[in-house]
Structure formats: C-alpha cells, structure tokens
A and B are shown apart, each in its own frame.
Chain A
Amino acid sequence: MDHGLVQLRIIVTIPSALRSYTKNNSEIGLVASTLEEVLMKLNKRFPGFWSLLVDEDGSLRKYVNIFVNENDIRNKTGLATTLKDGDRVRIVPSVAGGCLNCE
C-alpha cells in the first residue's frame, strides 16, 4: 500500500574492528532518515553497539569517524545528519599513530 512515505534505504559499512559485534557482517542494510536513527537501529540489532561509538555526552567518540558518502559528519550536523535514499554510511576508526595508549 502506498502511504506516500519514502523509505530511505541506507548501507552501513562496518570496519573490521567492529565485525565481531555484527556477526562478521561487513555491510548492514537498513532504513533510516538520520545518522542517529542508523546507530539506534544498529544498537537494537547488536546490543551495546551505540556505546562503542557514542560517549555519555552524546558526541561521537574521539577516535571514531563516520562518513556519509564522502563527507565527515563532524563537518555536517553530527548524529543529526539527515540521510537520503541510497546513502552509504562508513564507520571508520581514526588513525592513531603516536598515541601511546593505542600502540
């Protein structure tokens, strides 16, 4: 039935470091209209996923980057970034060379 609503199909790319949480899936397809909704849906499917990416203050963790297509969401509107049908969301751990805690 057509309600006049457009379902926004989004593809999320999961980095290898997080695939143990996603049952080894490297890509997840879902329907969402904002990045926040993407992460909430991933958390529902994979409990605990939200806290891997988002701090208690609601901001993206320091060493995590998320791109919508080629655009870093920090340069857009963060988790409130709106999505359009067919967008690809890439979760990318940042490079951390020289960080003593990471090495």
Chain B
Amino acid sequence: MREAVYALIGTRKGCFIFESDSKRRKWKVRGPFFESSSVFHMAFDRRDEKTIYAAVNCSHFGPTIFRSRNFGRTWKQAKRPPRFSEGSGLKVDNVWHITPGHSNESDVVFAGTAPGALFRSSDGGETWDLNEGLDKHPSRSKWVPGAGGLCLHSIVLDPHNLKRMYIGISAVGVFKSEDAGESWTTKNTNVRADFLPTKYPEFGQCVHKLIMDPTNPQHLFQQNHCGVYRSDNAAESWVDISKGLPSRFGFPMASHPRKSGQLYVVPEEGDFFRVVSNREFAVYATSTAGKRWKKLDKGLPNHNAYLGCYREGLASDSLEPSGLYAGTRMGHVFSSNNEGKVWSVLAQWLPPVYSVSTATLS
C-alpha cells in the first residue's frame, strides 16, 4: 500500500508542507502559507485524516487559527478565534499550540495561548471558548512570566480516560484535570525551579514541553528549564531522568509513536547560552524511559554548530521504521527515516523553524 507522509513546518514567515512517500528520501514542498505571519504550531487531525490546523500569529493583525481540509490547498480562518472577553483586561498575544480532541469527539479541538489560557472549540475550529476553570484558578494571580511569557504550549489528553487531561504553561508548570477541564490541580512535585527562592514550589516551574507515553497514559515526560523528568503515576510526582544527558536544559521533546519509554530530546548548553550542547547538534534518545540515553548524530552538524530548537521543533512520524524530524532556529529541518540512526537535510535556509509536526496517510 502506498503511504504519504507530510512534514508540517511552522516558521517565523509562514508555514510549509513537505510531502514524501514511505521511503522519505525525496520531498516536495508547498508554501509558504501565511507568509506575513508566524506559525507557531500545526496539528494534523488523525480523526478525519485530512484536517490540518495552524496557529497563525501576525504582528499587525493578531493571533488566529486556520484550518485546511485539503492539505493546504485552501485555508479557512476561525470565525471567532481565541480571545478573552472584553473587559477582562487580558488579550491573547499568540496561539502556541493546537491539539485535536478525543477520537469520539470529532469536532472538539483545544488551543493553548499566551498569556496562559486554554481554549476549546466544539465546532472543528470555527469558534473558540475560554476554559474558565483554568482562567479562574486560584494561583493565576501569582503566575510570573519568564522570558517566553506565560505560554500554554502543551495539551495532553489521556486516550483511556476522557475526563483526564494535562497542560503545561511556561514559568507556571504542569496542571491536571480529572473532570474534562472543569477544574485543575498543579502537578509539579519533585520538579526543580532553580531560578526561584523556593527550589520545589507548588507552581512556578518552567515546563518547556510535556508529552505522554504512546502506550501507557500513566507515564508522562517533560523537558523542563531545570531538567528532564518522568512521571510513572499520571503526573502525581516526577522523577529526574537528566542523568546521561550533556545538559539538563532544552526545549523540544518527542516520543516514538508506538514504543513505550522511547523518547527524544535536544539538549542545549543552558539558560544563558541557548545553543546545542558542546556545539554539536544531536538528538538524544532513550528506549528505557530515561534510564539510559544514546546520542544520535550521524549526519548532523557536529562541529561549531551554534544551533538550537524551539519547543515544538522535534517530531516523529508513525511509519515503520519511525521517522524523526528536527527543525532549528536557523531554518534547517533535519530528518531521519530510520529512527535517528542516520540523518539528512530535508530543508535549509528556511525562516527560523518554530514547529515541526507530521501527518501520515495510507
């Protein structure tokens, strides 16, 4: 059976759609779309296998969400994009992340914005409503933005429990809901906040990316400002799994589509020198949920590479063997069609790459 794979690349100057077959050796590109805007994230909807959502942020005309049902040939803007209510004193700066809802809720889509807010659409992205439970969380008045602002960049749904979901907000931490978003509880136990007077506060941790194990929804992982962490108990507590990495610091994180405990990160030197560790661009992989890490760098720039990835800059595809994709702040996209054993340049000289995501069709 012929399969098509798409690499969806959001950049500072619009987004691009790269298309290939299951071999993933030759790629065709379309775009840019929305070239006068930054595209922070793109999400493929596996429920209908045709819709792509794009978080489009324009310096002049503000943030919005577009959707395409034909892989970018035409796009439709939300009639009512994510916005706070008038008089709230808040306004949406950017849309950071989009996550399609559960498989049995075909028109539900979630979006994360800055300043830290969750929005939900129940009509396939046409109109968006603020999640009041998070907006009225008692801790909200104490949230203090970091350099990245208060972006809500991770939305994780438990596929086995329709009422359980998680979010990650930069400089605030991880929250969990057990009632489909009606109420939220902070979940940052054992996660360091080295930049605060209290090293282990209830909230204030700077989660950079939060993901779920593909086969075990009790297991979550986060790349944090202050380390890489695993939870074995649905975010009730976290274990530091940074040992074996060249740095605790980094932004993106991705999982293998099928293998439990297999995930990927791109370590960077640190907070005040945001380039890849040792100036070697490398993806680090674990197949043991963080007990051991392996460097994957064959074919990647490994000398004087002053590169780095934004938080959405790493993704896997669902083919066999799985493909990996890493986009850089300097406009490269590196790809591997064999789970990171060997890498090649999929694209270069793009605008700074803000996000990489994938879609696979058979």
Contact = CB atoms under 8 A, between A and B. Distances in A.
Interface of A: 17-18, 21, 47-48, 51-53, 55-58, 61, 63-64, 93-94, 96, 99, 101-102
Contact of B64 (A17, A48, A58): A48
Interface stretch (B72-80, B280-288, B323-331): B72-80
Interface of B: 36, 58-62, 64, 77-81, 83-92
B84 to A, nearest CB: 5
A84 B90 CA distance: 34
A4 B313 CA distance: 63
Contacts of A57: 86-87, 89, 91
Contacts, number: 55
Contact of B60 (A17, A48, A55, A56): A17
A56 B77 contact: no
A21 B92 CA distance: 20
A78 B90 CA distance: 20
A94 B60 CA distance: 8
B86 A48 contact: no
Contacts of B61: 17-18, 52-53, 61, 64, 93
Contacts of A93: 60-61
Contacts of B92: 56
A48 B77 contact: yes
Nearest to B78: A48
Given A61-B60, A61-B61, A96-B60, A51 B84 contact: no
B59 A99 contact: yes
A48 B79 contact: yes
A56 B64 contact: no
Nearest to A100: B59
B86 A51 contact: no
A57 B314 CA distance: 36
A64 B60 contact: yes
Q: Ordered nearest first, which 9 A-B pairs have the shortest CB separation?
A: A47-B79, A52-B61, A56-B91, A63-B60, A102-B59, A93-B60, A48-B77, A56-B84, A55-B91
A58 B86 CA distance: 7
A21 B86 contact: no
Nearest to A58: B86
B275 to A, nearest CB: 19
A63 B62 CA distance: 9
A60 B268 CA distance: 40
Contacts of A101: 59
A55 B62 contact: yes
Given A57-B89, A101-B59, 10 more contacts: A17-B60, A17-B61, A51-B62, A52-B61, A56-B83, A56-B85, A61-B61, A63-B59, A63-B60, A99-B59
